[in-house]
Amino acid sequence: MLAPAFLLLFQTISASSIHYSRGNHGSSKRTNGFCKQLDIPVTATSESAIYDVPRVDNDIEAAAWAIYSDTWSTPDGVERIIKNTTTSGTFNIHAQLCVPKTSGEKKDILQIATHGAHYDGRYWDPELDREKQSYVEASIRAGYSILTYDRLGTGQSDHPDAYDVVQAPLELEILRQLTLMARDGSLSSFAEKAKPSDEAFQKLPKPSKVVHVGHSFGSFITSAFIAKYSNLTDGAIITGFLLGPYLGKPGMASWAAEYAATGNPPFERPSGYMVCQEVGIQNLFFAGDPKTAFTPAMLKYGNDIKQPVPVGEFASAFHILGLPGPNLKAPVQYVAAEFDFYICGGDCKGLYDVEDLKKTYPNATTIEVAIQPNTGHAFTLHNNATAGFQLTFDFLGRNGL
CA 152 to CA 170: how far, in whole Å?
Answer: 9
Residue of 117, 112, 111, 113 lying closest to 154 (CA atoms): 117
pLDDT single digits (tens) 44-54: 999 999 999 99
The pLDDT of residue 25 = 57
Does residue 22 have a pLDDT over 50?
A: no
> Which are the contacts of 60, defined by CB distance < 8 A and separation ≥ 6?
none
The pLDDT of residue 17 = 25
CA 91 to CA 159: how far, in whole Å?
Answer: 9
Neighbouring C-beta atoms of residue 353, cutoff 10 Å: 12
Query: Could you give the domains of the chain?
Result: 23-52+70-251+306-398 (3.40.50.1820)
Q: What is the pTM of this model?
A: 0.92
Average pLDDT taken over every residue of the chain: 91
Half-sphere exposure of 382 (CA within 13 A, CB side): 27
Q: Which amino acid is at 396?
A: L
CA 230 to CA 232: how far, in whole Å?
Answer: 5
Residue of 10, 2, 1 lying closest to 344 (CA atoms): 10
Does residue 71 have a pLDDT over 80?
A: yes
CA 316 to CA 168: how far, in whole Å?
Answer: 6
pLDDT single digits (tens) 132-152: 999 999 999 999 999 999 999
| Residues 85-96, mean pLDDT to the nearest whole number | 98
Does residue 104 have a pLDDT over 80?
A: no
The rounded percent of the chain whose pLDDT value lies above 70 is 93
The pLDDT of residue 368 = 95
pLDDT single digits (tens) 163-203: 999 999 999 999 999 999 999 999 999 999 998 888 889 98
Q: Is 125 helix (H, G, I), strand (E, B) or coil?
A: coil
pLDDT single digits (tens) 225-267: 999 999 999 999 999 998 888 888 889 999 999 999 999 899 9
Is there a contact between 10 and 377 (Cβ–Cβ < 8 Å)? Answer: yes
pLDDT band of residue 356 (cuts 50, 70, 90) is confident
